[in-house]
Amino acid sequence: MTTTTRSSAKERGNSTNEGAPPASKAEPGSKHKVEEGTKSPEPKRPKKSDEKEQKTIEETIGVSEQTKQEQQAEQQEQQEEIAKDSEKGDVAKAEKETATGDAEEPREDAKDIPSSILEKGIIYFFFRGRIGIDRPSDVDEIARSYIILRPIAKDAKLGSGPIGDAGNSRVCVVPKKVLPKTGKDRWISFVEKTGASFSELKDEFLKSNDYETKTAGTRHSPAATPVAEGVYAITSTGKDSHLAYILTLPDKLGEVQKEIGLKEKGSFIISTRNPQYEPPKNARLPKGPEYPKELLEEFRSLRWAPTQPRHLDYVNTQFLLVGESSGIAKALEQQKKDQKEGKNEPAEELEQLEEEDAQRMQDLDDDDAARIFADLQADAGHYPKLPTTF
């Protein structure tokens, strides 16, 4: 089904893109390209200087042939070290070039970002059908739901083009078929992948998989189906942490999105489980997260602690999602300290990010699923369409 982004985003896109080629025809992120890179380290001792110094030593004190050979060997070793440092510099440059996305650019008002926003970024919702079911006809045919978080810098805004691969995506698994809708819904979820590149997402998450079993023969695990895309913020209101989101795609919620538990603007209370305690019997994983000692100490004696973004950077982190029927109001409530310091309101921050996201996603393609997969650097032709009805 083909849908479009919100009309306001379209009007902005029509007014700002007159006389310029569409972003879909341009190189992703070329409009906001930031010069990056690192210089290779300078040699500790230039070769000409070494030769001159060596000649002076020989003329003044008459070193032996053996000493000359040792010094030449030392010079050779030094040059090899310089070459290694240069190679490391090239690697560092490549890593820096992927540290920020094509669509990210710095903001001028970074000092006004509210402290209650711990992290922000792009959020994608997917589900996977049960074994052998590529296109579920109802919720009961869904095996699991998934949330992909692609963080961006807190002081960044979104420009045009795909978000870019920073190799920092997280895949979070919601074992239930749907997302928690109210405070009575409390789902224990977990982090399946961290620091994932888009290539890893394609090879290890998005695609379908056929495998052999001794009893049932060939089994087919269907490809992941996109359900929605938008922006998110992990916020702190003191006592609790929240995962708040605003959807960009689809433009209007369909039957599928509503059945899954999505809202145009939604939020969950999110808490991280202390792995030093035994997990509930129905939520055990083969292995727990490998937290460093200092992170474990932050839990103190608490079984559950308000989620910090760094908790989600460890595979097998378990977190509790509790539905918030009131929407995002509580999650994006401005804190008194930020209000006194004249910081921006969290709600305005997330709404502005969604407007930027709507504009860039509109320019990627005419089809919602194609927009999502283009953002993830995947060929939409290999994956399911974004459904709005079962």
What are the pLDDT digits (tens) for 178-221?
999 999 999 999 999 999 999 999 999 999 999 999 998 999 99
pLDDT number for residue 2:
42
What contacts 341, CB < 8 A, 6 or more positions away?
none
pLDDT number for residue 1:
45
Alpha helices in the chain (DSSP H): 7-16, 47-61, 65-97, 198-201, 255-260, 293-298, 336-340, 346-362, 368-375
What spatial distance separates the first Cα and last Cα of the chain, rounded to whole Å?
12
Higher per-residue pLDDT: 79 or 253: 253
* Percent above pLDDT 90 for the chain: 70
The whole-number average pLDDT for the span 45-56 is: 46
Q: Assess contact for 285 and 279: CB atoms under 8 A.
A: yes
Confidence (pTM): 0.75
The whole-number average pLDDT for the span 13-30 is: 45
Question: Three-state SS for 205?
Answer: helix
Q: Assess contact for 376 and 264: CB atoms under 8 A.
A: no
Higher per-residue pLDDT: 35 or 245: 245
Tens of pLDDT, residue by residue over 139-178, are: 999 999 999 999 999 999 999 999 999 999 999 999 999 9
CA 36 to each of CA 27, 94, 95, 99, 321: distance values in angstroms, whole numbers, following the listed order:
17, 9, 10, 10, 38
The answer to which of 61-65, 136-140, 235-239, 288-292 has the lowest mean pLDDT is 61-65
